[in-house]
């Protein structure tokens, strides 16, 4: 179980903001305001008993629930699709694997560009939606760590917003290298590890009403490279897109609003301390996008 205490979260944001102040990003008035806000938060009765015990939910069970609403609105799509599109513009159509294909969002993009598409996912419910979305694709049930695809069968692998659910990147990168032909390309997008550390983990409400979060892991850029380079995957590009910044406007009445419903944590929690949240998040990317190429024999 995960113990989610909204008071701990907002105090963490205050702490991150104060650390950035300590290195000269903000002045004394900002620091004094943060310390005063911390004192007020500690006295805020709406946060005192708002903690929630949250279950860790595996991807099969979690995406069974999330499949009904996964496609929208989902702000992550607007961040990775422009970069992925630029990369695909430089690659010829071929046989492509959408690994962790979900509802077929990227499979549809590939199909529209003339690729012969194979999709793999561990969620039967997501695969059902992908088959409707991309009727000319071939979709298979399987795990990223054991892809049901032959050696050297594809020219391109795309894996979007899936690796954060994988505990160890090494067997997955080895699978990507195995199914690629020499010279083939791998494109990955995922939640940025700094966002995972800030609680950007999908919530799901289980059928019995239990609050749950999809099992998620924080993989640094170094983790990705240490998994990719030994299997012959060489970096061609890396991008870290940002969520457009919005400065806080006006004061938030915490007593009136409280921490908000659990389903919108941590976003509603950040809104309780907008100045601290803006300072803590400034310059922190939302996603990380990689382009690798498999070296020849």
pLDDT reading at 69 higher than 90 = no
The yes-or-no verdict on residue 255 having pLDDT over 50 is no
Q: pLDDT of 117-147, one tens digit each?
A: 999 999 999 999 999 999 999 999 999 999 9
pLDDT tier at 251, thresholds 50, 70, 90: low
Instruction: Give the lowest-confidence range in 8-12, 79-83, 161-165.
Output: 79-83
Average pLDDT over residues 149-176: 97
> What's this model's pTM, rounded to 2 decimal places?
0.91
Per-residue pLDDT band for 256 (boundaries 50, 70, 90) equals: low
What one-character-per-residue DSSP string does the chain give?
A: -EEE-HHHHHHHHHHHHHHHHHTTSS-HHHHHHHHHHHHHHHT-HHHHT--EEEEEE-HHHHHHHHTTTTTSS-HHHHHHHHHHHHHHHTS---EEEEET-TTTHHHHHHHHTT-EEEEEES-HHHHHHHHHH-TTSEEEE-BTTB-SS-TT-EEEEEEES-GGG-S-HHHHHHHHHHHEEEEEEEEEEEE-HHHHHTT---EEE-TTS-EEEE------HHHHHHHHGGGTEEEEEEE---PPP----S---HHHHTT--GGGTTHHHHTTSHHHHHHHHTT--SEEEEEEEE---
% of the chain at pLDDT higher than 70 = 92
17, 57, 273 from 27: Cα distances, Å: 11, 43, 18
Please say if the pLDDT value at position 63 is more than 70: yes
Q: What is the mean pLDDT of residues 184-197?
A: 96
Q: Model confidence at 73, in pLDDT bands (50, 70, 90)? A: low
Could you tell me what percent of the chain has a pLDDT over 90?
78
């Amino acid at each position: 179980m995960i113990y989610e205490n909204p008071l701990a979260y907002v105090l963490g944001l205050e702490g991150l903001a104060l650390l950035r102040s300590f290195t000269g990003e903000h002045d004394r008035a900002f620091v004094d305001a943060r310390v005063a806000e911390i004192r007020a938060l500690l006295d805020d009765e709406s946060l005192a008993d708002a903690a929630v015990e949250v279950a860790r939910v595996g991807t099969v069970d979690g995406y069974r629930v999330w499949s009904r609403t996964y496609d929208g609105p989902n702000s992550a799509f607007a961040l990775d699709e422009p970069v992925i599109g630029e990369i695909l513009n430089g690659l010829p159509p071929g046989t492509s694997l959408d690994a962790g294909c979900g509802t077929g969002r990227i499979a549809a993009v590939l199909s529209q560009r003339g690729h012969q598409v194979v999709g793999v996912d561990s969620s039967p419910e997501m695969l059902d939606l992908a088959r409707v979305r991309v009727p000319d694709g071939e979709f298979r049930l399987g795990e990223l760590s054991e892809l049901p695809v032959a050696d050297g069968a594809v020219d391109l692998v795309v894996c979007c917003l899936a690796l954060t659910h994988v505990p160890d990147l090494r067997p997955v990168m080895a699978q990507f290298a195995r199914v690629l032909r020499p010279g083939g390309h791998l494109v990955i997008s995922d939640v940025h590890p700094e966002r995972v550390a800030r609680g950007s983990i999908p919530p799901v409400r289980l059928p019995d009403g239990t609050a749950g979060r999809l099992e998620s892991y924080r993989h640094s850029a170094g983790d990705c490279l240490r998994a990719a380079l030994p299997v012959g995957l060489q970096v061609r590009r890396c991008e870290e897109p940002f969520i457009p910044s919005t400065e806080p406007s006006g004061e938030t009445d915490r007593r009136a609003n409280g921490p908000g419903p659990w389903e919108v944590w941590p976003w509603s929690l950040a809104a309780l301390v907008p100045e601290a949240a803006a300072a803590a998040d400034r310059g922190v990317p939302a996603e990380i996008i990689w382009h690798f190429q498999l070296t020849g024999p």
